[in-house]
Every structure is written in structure tokens, then in C-alpha cells.
Amino acid sequence: MTRRLSIAPRPVPATAMLAMASGVFALLLAFYLPFIGSLHLFDWDELIFAEAAREMLERNDFLRVFVNYVPFFEKPPGFFWLQALSFHWFGVSEGAARLPSALFTAATGALVFVLGCYIRSAGFGLLWALLFGLGLLPVILGKFGLIDPTFNFFVLSSLFCLFAADESRRQDGRQDQPIPKLKWLPGGYFSLAALLLGFAVLVKGPLALAIVVPSFTVYKLVVPRPPISLLAGVLGLLGTLLVAGSWFALETFAHGTGFVTEFVNYQLRITGTNDGHPGFPFFHTLIFIFGCFPFSVFVVRGFRQRVHYRERRFQLLALILFVLVLLLFELVVKTKLVHYSSLLQVPGAFLAARILYRCWHGQSRLHPLELIALGLIGLLLAAPMLLVPYLGTNPALLDSLLKDPVARAYLSTPVDWGWSTFVPGIWLLFITILTIALALSKRDRAAINGLILGAGITANLVWAVFLARVDAYVSTPMVRYIDRVGRSPLAFYGPLTYLPPFYAGRAIANPNSPGQLASLLREQPGLWVVTRQSEIDQIVSLSPLKIQNRYGAYILLGPAQTEERRSNQVASSLR
């Protein structure tokens, strides 16, 4: 006989809830921290942010943001403060740069668990937290030193506090677990929401307001009771502006209006142009479907499933947030980057958790169409994970397929593609087939467990195998040349890169025309230059440069006398 789920959730004591939330936090960190410092930082965003934080410490100036010792107007300093604190405690390194992202992604999982306890039960909260926290893309983004995981935490915390404020004043909520009041804070959850939203603005800018305010406004239009007074709304918004504006005010008072003006101009530009990162239609939709595997498969049924009481109300809020973020980044923001729409992950995982929770308790079954989608997406993800190592172990095939000289140059880098590089694809294929087999044999609990843990392990394998080799092709040669040159004058010629100042620990010129480089050579005759093989013909004739070393796609050029001095040393050793 099928067991029925109780409509009223089982209350969870606050101390037990906090203990379990700490366990969720620690469990997610166990998936985010491995190998976190094993790869060089990647261009552009990771290096921009880490360099901004490094220069904050070096300059002892935490109001203004500089990158390569030039004012940087694109982001407020909130996230850079966190990275600078990490650098202060653990030293300037890749792991320290990425630590805030790992911590705040895990904290988002813990937050989701607590909210899930109040929406339904501790079991539902745990399932929701693990679906989100161990999805492919959430794990990988939790390892990158990007702003978005921290920004998402503050945005979601603010929105959840607004929901909690609304629920705590509800008179017809006896069927739901009571939400404790914040007696220690005047204004309760409204004040906390305003404070958190202000921090979100300090981390990434006014995008936080464009997400939280419309989402909750639409929610209250659909669920008007209990009403919120206009005064409370105005005071909350003023509180947010007070927190967020405190830094803008200090910056303006100390250094004038230059930063604020440039910052506003950038925010306007990024909504109207792709800012150098174009994409294709439905870019973010496809990123969610494939990047949020496996829980993206179950989202569609989560839209349709009917529920009652608090879960129903939060379902509306999750739907509103999901649709708003998707429309915002598909239609308004022209820049197409994988991490931009990461706010879809938490509401998407909630919708999926509603279905899988019922399957876990025997109230529903995994639908055949969901199993087909699971197998298809798993196969489409595993196929390139198997194809890329195969091509890596058979370079002759690539020689016949690749005509682009730039790609050929990168692939000439000595990178090992041993049998172990097939493991991520084999593992993902195995866990997908196993999940489907378990579901068909009516062992849904085992299928859900395997799917969640399998995705988290796959993400770590992708990081350790594939991203490590991307690093070996792209970043490692540049870092080797920086180490070789030491403190000698250095420039990187060609496309814009933010790697040199972080790894050299000083300002590095990045000329992109022969004229600019020629001017630098006149000013610094002993200049060393790193460039790609595709750009070498533009500058090889410039005196006094001579090719000193080739490694993969990159070439090191140095003063001619360096080559002469080396030749003399070799001749002397032969006498």
C-alpha cells in the first residue's frame, strides 16, 4: 500500500536545524575544496578579480579598485574585499582567490536546507540542498574565483528573508511550521532583507535590485495577503540604498564622481551590447539544461505539480524568480557567459526537489520521459568527454581536421592524454545507465542517491582532468615565461590578458599593435616580450628582439644581446 505524505511538515527544532545545516555546509565544501588551488586562474574574470584584490592589499587602499594598476570601474569592491581578506589570511594564491566562492556556494546550500525545513521538512531541505549543491555547474562554479556565487547568496538570502517576513505575519499558517521572529533586530526579516540586498549591490552592482525588487513585487501582486504597507517597502528600499550607497558616498567624497560616472556607464553598456561575449539564441536555457544536470530534467514536472499552503506560495516565488532571471539574461543582457544565469540554479533545484521528494516517499515514480531525457542529456555530455581524450591520444586525426593555425599552435603544447582522461566520460555514462536501470527496477531511492552523488563526482573529475589540460595549454606557458624573466622588463603582445600582472606581481604592458610595442622597446631596450605564434610575424622584425624560446602556442622574445651572450657562454665551455 502506498504511503501518503503528511500535509503538515514535521517541526524541526532550531538547534537541530542549525546542526544539520552545518553538516550540509561541510558536505558541500568536501566537493568544492578538492583541487581548488591546483589550476592557474583563468582569463578574464578570475584574473581580473584576483588581481583587483591583490592590488588592494599591495596599495592598502580598499576604497578604489585597480587592475594592472589602472582604475577599474566595472564592479564595486564587495567581492574584492572578501578575496583580499582571504589573501591576507592564506597568502596570495589560486586557492585563496577561489575560497570565497566555495564558501558562499556551500553557504547557499545550507541556506536552502534551512528554508526547505520550513517549507516542508528536513528531508526535503536536504534533497533540495544536495540537488543544487552537487549539480554539475554549481560544483564547477563553486571552484572558480567568480563573483556570482557570492552575489547569488546575498540575492537569495534577501529574497528568502522577504518571504520569511511575509510568512511570519500570516494568520492562516497553522498548517506550516512557525517561522521564528527576529526579536533582536528592529524590523525583523524586512530589515535583514534590506541589509543583505545592500551587500548584494556592493558585491556586483544594481543588478541585485533589478532581480529582488521585481520578483517580490510580482509575488505580492499574486499573493496579496498579508499586505505590506507602502511605508515598510519605502523604508526597506532606503535601508538597502543606505548600505549600498555608503561605499559610493565614501568613494565620491574621497576621490570625486569619476568612479560613479564610469560605473553607471558600464552598467548601461553591458545591457545594450555583448561586451565582447556574444552568444546564440536560448544560450542560458541550454546552459541550464546541460549545466544543471541532473536536476534540470525534473524541472518541467515541478512547474505543474500542485501543492498547498507554504510550499505552494514558495512555488510561485520560485517560478517568478526563475522566469524573471531567464528573461532578463536571454532578452535584456546581451553578454552571454555561463555564470551569468547561475541564479536559475536554486529555484530550478527547488522545482526538481518537489518531484524527487515524492518519488523518494513512494508518492510518484520517475516518468519514462524523464528517464529518456536523463539518458539523452547524459549521453550528450559524456560523448565529448570521451571524444576529446580520444583525439588527444590520436593527434594525427586532429592534424587532418584542424586548419586554424592558432588552434594547431595551442595543441602543439606537450600535454599528456593518458587512459585516465577517459574516466570522467566513462563515469558519467556509467552513473546515467545505472540510474535508469535502478529507476526501471522501481528502486527510486537508490537511483536518486546515485544520480546526485554521481553528478558531484563528475564535476570534480571534469575539473581535475579537462580544466587541468585547458590550463596546461593556455595558462601554464605564460606563467613559465613570467617565472623565467623574473624582474626584468616584460610585455605581453597580442590579445588582452590579465594573467601577467597577477603572476608577475607588477604592472605588465599589453600592447596590441607593432607601433605600441616599438614605442615600449625605445623606452626599455632590455624588454622581454611574450606573444602567440599567430602574432609573431607582426613583431619579429622589431629590433632588438630575438626569439629565445618556443613553448606550445607562445614564444618568448628577448634582447638580441641575450642570445649573443648565451652563444658566447656555449663557445667558452667548448674551448
Residue extents of the structural domains in the chain: 14-276, 374-482, 484-573
pLDDT at 89 over 60: yes
Q: What percent of the chain has pLDDT over 90?
A: 56
pLDDT at 7 over 50: no
Q: What is the pLDDT of residue 71?
A: 87
Closest CA to 200 of 228, 159, 233: 159
> Per mean pLDDT, which range of 270-274, 407-411, 529-533 is the poorest?
270-274
**Cα(474)–Cα(468) distance, integer angstroms:** 10
Q: What is the pLDDT of residue 270?
A: 65
pLDDT at 259 over 90: no
Q: What is the pLDDT of residue 466?
A: 95
pLDDT at 387 over 90: yes
45-59 and 78-90 helices, crossing angle to 10°: 70
Q: What mean pLDDT comes out for the span 99-105?
A: 97
Long-range contacts of the stretch 165-171 (C-beta < 8 A, 24+): 165/189, 165/190, 165/193, 166/220, 166/223, 166/226, 166/228, 167/118, 167/310, 167/313, 169/226, 170/225, 170/226, 171/226
Exposure class string for 47-62: b at 16+ Cβ within 10 A, else e:
bbbbbbbbbbbeeeee
pLDDT in tens, 36-73: 999 999 988 999 999 999 999 999 988 889 999 998 88
Local confidence band at 273 (pLDDT 50, 70, 90 cut-offs): low
pLDDT at 307 over 90: no
The answer to whether 475 and 40 are in contact (CB under 8 A) is yes
Q: What mean pLDDT comes out for the span 90-96?
A: 95
H-only helix segments in 441-475: 444-462, 468-474
Local confidence band at 574 (pLDDT 50, 70, 90 cut-offs): very low
Closest CA to 427 of 403, 451, 410, 449: 451
Local confidence band at 506 (pLDDT 50, 70, 90 cut-offs): very high
pLDDT at 566 over 60: no
Q: What is the pLDDT of residue 540?
A: 78
Closest CA to 349 of 424, 404, 292, 414: 292
**Cα(490)–Cα(127) distance, integer angstroms:** 52
Confidence (pTM): 0.91
The count of C-alpha atoms lying within 13 angstroms of the C-alpha of 62, restricted to the half-sphere facing its C-beta, is 12
Q: Tell me yes or no: is domain 484-573 CATH 3.40.190.
A: yes
In this structure, the strands spanning 528-532 and 554-559 are antiparallel
> Per mean pLDDT, which range of 364-373, 380-389, 482-491, 562-571 is the poorest?
562-571
pLDDT at 343 over 70: yes
Please name the residues in contact with 95: beta carbons below 8 A apart, sequence gap of 6 or more.
36, 37
Q: What is the pLDDT of residue 306?
A: 66
Starting at the earlier edge strand, list the strands of the sheet with 554-559.
490-492, 528-532, 554-559, 545-551
Q: How far is CA 77 from CA 97, 178, 500, in A?
A: 14, 38, 21
pLDDT at 334 over 70: no
**CB count, 10 Å around CB of 419?**
8
Q: What mean pLDDT comes out for the span 232-240?
A: 80
Please name the residues in contact with 463: beta carbons below 8 A apart, sequence gap of 6 or more.
35, 39, 139, 140, 143
Q: What is the pLDDT of residue 220?
A: 92
**Cα(202)–Cα(81) distance, integer angstroms:** 10
Local confidence band at 567 (pLDDT 50, 70, 90 cut-offs): very low
Q: What is the pLDDT of residue 351?
A: 94
Q: What is the pLDDT of residue 5?
A: 45
pLDDT at 240 over 80: yes
Q: What is the pLDDT of residue 281?
A: 73
Q: What mean pLDDT comes out for the span 168-189?
A: 75
The whole-chain average pLDDT of the chain stands at: 87
Helix (H, G, I), strand (E, B) or coil at 2: coil
Q: What percent of the chain has pLDDT over 70?
A: 92
Local confidence band at 275 (pLDDT 50, 70, 90 cut-offs): low
Closest CA to 14 of 177, 229, 148: 177
Residue with cell 583525439: 391
Q: Among the ranges 98-102, 116-120, 204-208, 292-296, which has the highest mean pLDDT value?
A: 98-102
Local confidence band at 468 (pLDDT 50, 70, 90 cut-offs): very high
> Per mean pLDDT, which range of 134-143, 250-259, 443-452 is the poorest?
250-259
Residue with cell 546515485: 450
Q: What mean pLDDT comes out for the span 14-23?
A: 91
Q: What mean pLDDT comes out for the span 207-219?
A: 92
**CB count, 10 Å around CB of 316?**
13
